[in-house]
A and B are shown apart, each in its own frame.
Chain A
Amino acid sequence: MPINKNQTRLSVLKTYKLYIGGQFPRTESGRYYTVNDADGNALANACLSSRKDLRDAVTAARSAFGGWSGKTAYNRGQILYRMAEVVEARRIEMIRELTDSGSSTAQAKKEVDACIDTLVHFAGWCDKYQQLFSAVNPVASSHFNFSVPEPMGVVGIMANNKQPLLGLIQPMAAAIAGGNTCVIVAHTDRPLAAISFTEALATSDLPGGVVNILTGKTSELLPWMAGHLDVNAILMSSKDNSAWKDTQLAATANLKRIVSLSENDALSPYRILDLQEIKTTWHPIENIAPAGSAY
């Protein structure tokens, strides 16, 4: 918040930190950068994350993966809904942070409301996408053959969208609704609302490490994310051709999936499917076809 010269007390300015494994560490590098408002006035300092912060965030996301993907789909839905509840309680603060960094009041309100609605929307999808994307497959042998979606693992999200908060929450919600954990690099120039969002996350029921948020330069962090063998997928904008190509190349080391962030279709359940592996199981069954049934 800009300092008002007429006020009688000095406001206590917030230190914007990272969110890794449910904790709020500063960057290990000790570096920071200044975040400006739309007019170029300094708003706050944010952490300029290093590759080691990224490494720590991926480690946290990996260790949270087993617990998160192992929860029942219904329970994940409850937790996403709870996230919507706590963001709703901080609605005014989030709106103010977006207006400080350059949104109009109407834009900011619309964006924060859309964020809350997105969380409720994907909370509902948590225990429903499986029915949409699963199949029982006809096979010519005496097997019960079925395919089900399973979460990929750790997902990297490069949230450099024109809407700094919604552009982060939409892909995040789709990723975690499907049982993935994620490491998000917030919007470089407008990261403050994202950090306040993590403070809401810390008071929701979301286990630490499921969502990790870094602030800093996408161009610095993306190559390390792309080469990291413990990251299973990356969501990023496909607009920058050279970054897209470099990421694709580096991703071959562990056959990472690179998904283009879609701005139009962000609420589709296919955004969940983008981050799922389809697992097919052949289950032997007694050949009881003469009795008139397949299984």
Chain B
Amino acid sequence: MAGNSTTVIPPDFRRTAPVDQTGIEERAARFTKRSIKQSSKRQALNMVLNMIDLTTLEGKDTDQKVRQLCYKAMHPHDELPNIPTVAAICVYPNFVRVAKKALDGSGIKVASVATAFPSGQSTRAIKLADTRFAVSEGADEVDMVISRGKFHAGEYNFVFDEIAAIKEACGQARLKVILETGELGSLDKVRRASEIAMYAGADFIKTSTGKIQPAATMPVTLVMLEAIRDFYYKTGIQVGMKPAGGISKSKLALHYLVMLRETLGQDWMSNEWFRFGASSLANDVLMQIRKETTGQYQSAAYFSVD
């Protein structure tokens, strides 16, 4: 796996180019006008399902809840033949071992949040220990949060160094950097935070923890996708994208796929480079696939409760 190395010399993040907010919103709105029907829709729905990071990040999570979710990841809906599994399970570090065992041999990755998720308010030492623990338990991917307070205070080097340190602690695990765009306040800042994360070594940039509203929106995701595109043109390094939170309907997920295809192109159209962080999206996708198969509108009563 070709990870994002940190050999590229970072620019001055105070001079990040500003974003045309009106233009971004108009462009993002246009992606929702495409019509995807029949076999293309079937294929797109399968792709969405295969890109989901099935997530449970609750205070009430138990080992059994995580095992149940792992089963769902491997068997999304056994009545439907020829559907893919999800991409990964996303849990707290203390459930990584349980998830790893439950998913053994399935090829489904285990992602763990780390670094004092979701607020990120803790010391560097604790965040590193959190990360090392998740990796030592077997996490394939680490989802870290940036220090938004330091970012707002203009301490971009602090944020950069922290991401770089966590990246080092990840070892072979891929690092997703959560910007928590709902707390950043403007698209300019989303663009700046995206660049800091990528230059510091992020393998993925991710919109949100899912704990703050607004979470992922199409304009925010578009700004991040464009940052990924520009970073790729400058450095040749491919970085993945993960919108998370608030994407619970298939139709919206298909809009995101259109945006991905038209911004980054075919190379990003797999779960190696694009993920949806979601808990209820999977069931809606399954309902849509079943609707496409049977021709009948579906009821949530016939799909597993997560």
Contact = CB atoms under 8 A, between A and B. Distances in A.
B301 A230 contact: yes
Contacts of A253: 296
B233 interface: no
Query: What 10 pairs between A and B have smallest CB-CB spacing?
Result: A230-B299, A229-B299, A227-B296, A228-B297, A229-B298, A55-B297, A229-B296, A253-B296, A229-B297, A229-B302
Interface string B265-306: 000000000000000000000000000000111111110000
A230 B300 contact: yes
Contacts of B295: 227
Given A229-B302, A230-B299, 8 more contacts: A62-B299, A227-B295, A227-B297, A229-B298, A229-B301, A230-B297, A230-B298, A254-B299
Contacts of A62: 299-300
A274 to B, nearest CB: 21
Interface in A188-225: 224
A224 B299 contact: no
A224 B302 CA distance: 18
Most chain B beta-carbon contacts within 10 A, residue among A224, A229, A253: A229
Nearest to A254: B299
23 contacts: A55-B297, A58-B297, A62-B299, A62-B300, A224-B297, A227-B295, A227-B296, A227-B297, A228-B296, A228-B297, A228-B299, A229-B296, A229-B297, A229-B298, A229-B299, A229-B301, A229-B302, A230-B297, A230-B299, A230-B300, A230-B301, A253-B296, A254-B299
Interface string A24-61: 00000000000000000000000000000001001000
Contacts of B298: 229-230
Interface of B: 295-302
B228 to A, nearest CB: 34
Interface in A265-279: none
A229 B295 CA distance: 11
B102 to A, nearest CB: 30
A1 B276 CA distance: 52
Nearest to B302: A229
B299 to A, nearest CB: 4
Interface residues of A, number: 10
B300 to A, nearest CB: 7
A253 B300 CA distance: 14
B172 to A, nearest CB: 44
Contacts of A229: 296-299, 301-302
Nearest to B295: A227
A89 B38 CA distance: 49
A227 B301 CA distance: 15
A169 to B, nearest CB: 26
A258 B298 CA distance: 18
A227 B302 CA distance: 14
Most chain A beta-carbon contacts within 10 A, residue among B298, B299, B300: B299
Nearest to A51: B297
Contacts of A58: 297
Contacts of A228: 296-297, 299
A58 B298 CA distance: 11
Nearest to A225: B297
Nearest to A59: B297
Contacts of A55: 297
A250 B92 CA distance: 45
A151 to B, nearest CB: 14
A224 B295 CA distance: 9
A227 B299 CA distance: 11
A227 B290 CA distance: 13
A228 B299 CA distance: 8
Interface string A229-270: 110000000000000000000000110000000000000000
Nearest to A54: B297
Most chain A beta-carbon contacts within 10 A, residue among B295, B296, B301: B296
A224 B298 CA distance: 11
Nearest to B296: A227
Contacts of B302: 229
Contacts of B299: 62, 228-230, 254
A181 to B, nearest CB: 14
Nearest to A224: B297
Contacts of B296: 227-229, 253
A220 B297 CA distance: 15
Contacts of A224: 297
Nearest to A154: B299
B17 to A, nearest CB: 39
A254 B299 CA distance: 9
Nearest to A227: B296
Nearest to A55: B297
A48 to B, nearest CB: 19
Contacts of A230: 297-301
A228 B296 CA distance: 6
B117 to A, nearest CB: 31
A253 B302 CA distance: 12
A56 to B, nearest CB: 10
A22 B302 CA distance: 27
A245 B293 CA distance: 24
B290 to A, nearest CB: 9
A53 to B, nearest CB: 12
A229 B294 CA distance: 11
B21 to A, nearest CB: 28
Contacts of A254: 299
A230 B301 CA distance: 8
